[in-house]
Structure 1
Amino acid sequence: MEWLVPVLIVVALVVLIGIYLWATYNSLVQLNVRVDEAWSGITVQLTRRADLIPNLIETVKGYAAHEKAVFENVTRARAETLSAAGPGAAGIAEGHLQQALRSLFAVAEAYPQLQASHNFLQLQHAFVDTEDKVQAARRLYNGGVRDFNTKIKVFPNNMFARGLGFTEREFFEVADSGAVSAPPRVQF
């Protein structure tokens, strides 16, 4: 009968460790899914913005047809944004697009008739709204990545999280922070 107490203690410890591992695994899965969902939100907003760009280009083109290089740069940056796979590539593409859009809006500022155009003003408002949504989606994604990465790194989760297939996620950061430190000016 003396052996029963140590066996019960060992069984209780194994059960407690099993419950802890089960709960931690489930919370890591939930955080991982939230990060995936947040990334999906970013891609939706980036696509929405990319869909606005051709209309914006065509509107500006009607007033400034001689600015061919600007339009080509914006189109190239738009394509790069749409084809970016993952936060790192999207961050680089985001920097390129911000620079190209800054040039496009600089061209638009030179044409007072364009600034008064109803279509341009509608596109401007839609673009500003989308930019706000991109930033909100980016904050949500980076917050989810922060929570997920923290959960993986804390003790004792760091001892088994990688063994269960969980690895740190990448933040969505713009590679050239100068490119977005002064976002495109869209107020005319």
Structure 2
Amino acid sequence: MEPSTLVWIGVGALVVLGLIGLIVTLTSRAAMRRLGASVDERWHALGGTLERRSSVAEPLLAAATEQQRSQATDAFTALERAASPSGKAEAEAEVQRVLRPLVQAAGSQPAGSDAAEARAALAALDDDAQARRRDYNTGARELNAKARRWPSSMWAKSVAAPREFFEVDHAGAVAEPPRVQF
């Protein structure tokens, strides 16, 4: 073989390898952006579900004391203002703590009353929030894992990886046993 043919084969191989590298890099960047957008979507859906709790709890708050209403208003305001998963988790635990006595009191209300319906709606909303929390945490786990692998690690900063998990401290929510009054 002639030396010029070997040079052209070498140049062709380098061009093919460069194109393969470019394709891998661009696809990993696109995949990271898609996954980041998916996690952001999940986060907004979770936040919306958590913030709907204030409107659902209104019938329970109508029968509450002024102190309980004030605590609930403060807790809901903190939940709306929290931006990070840890801040939302703390605010969510506080909302659960504040609403627990009201929900327990609604248990003694007759079926069909506003308080009983609010209690059922809150239970359904809690189930939805828990499902959305798991969904968000799954997406965050996928994003964090992908951000640690090459070549995706080059684009991790562009999608704000790693993402924080949303974990509610249930120990604080059940620290005080329910009070039964006759």
Normalising by the residue count of structure 2, what TM-score does the alignment of the two structures yield?
0.83
Partner of 1:22: 26
Aligned-residue CA RMSD in angstroms?
2.4
1:146 pairs, out of 125, 141, 145, with: 141
Q: Secondary structure at the match of 2:57?
A: helix
Greater Cα shift, 28-37 or 148-157: 148-157
1:54 pairs, out of 42, 45, 58, with: 58
Letter in 2 for 1:57: L
Q: Secondary structure at the match of 1:161?
A: helix
In 2: Cα distance, 1:94 partner to 1:167 partner? 24
CA separation of 1:181/1:8 partners in 2, compared to 1, >3 Å: closer, same or farther?
Answer: farther
Cα pair 2:36 2:159 within 8 Å, conserved: no
In 2: Cα distance, 1:29 partner to 1:57 partner? 42
Partner of 2:103: 105
Q: Could you list the runs of 5+ residues in structure 2 that have no partner in the other structure?
A: none
Identity of aligned residues (%): 28
Q: 1:11 aligned to 2:5?
A: no
For residue 68 of structure 1, report the CA deviation from its aligned partner: 3.2
The structure with more radius of gyration = 2
2:130 pairs, out of 117, 132, 135, with: 135
1:81 pairs, out of 61, 79, 82, with: 79
Number of residue pairs aligned between Structure 1 and Structure 2: 173
- Deviations 1:65-101, CA, capped at 9 Å, x for gaps: xx43333222211111112112121011011111111
Partner of 1:121: 116
Q: 1:173 aligned to 2:167?
A: yes
- Deviations 1:142-169, CA, capped at 9 Å, x for gaps: 11111111111123433x1246565211
In 2: Cα distance, 1:126 partner to 1:14 partner? 57
Normalising by the residue count of structure 1, what TM-score does the alignment of the two structures yield?
0.81
In 1: Cα distance, 2:157 partner to 2:75 partner? 39
Cα pair 1:98 1:179 within 8 Å, conserved: no
For residue 42 of structure 1, report the CA deviation from its aligned partner: 0.6
For residue 106 of structure 1, report the CA deviation from its aligned partner: 4.4
In 2: Cα distance, 1:13 partner to 1:153 partner? 24
- Deviations 1:32-81, CA, capped at 9 Å, x for gaps: 111011011112211211211223210x33xxxxx433332222111111
- Deviations 1:81-138, CA, capped at 9 Å, x for gaps: 11211212101101111111123334556xx4x3556111111111111111111111
Letter in 2 for 1:150: A
In 2: Cα distance, 1:121 partner to 1:140 partner? 29
CA separation of 1:150/1:70 partners in 2, compared to 1, >3 Å: closer, same or farther?
Answer: same
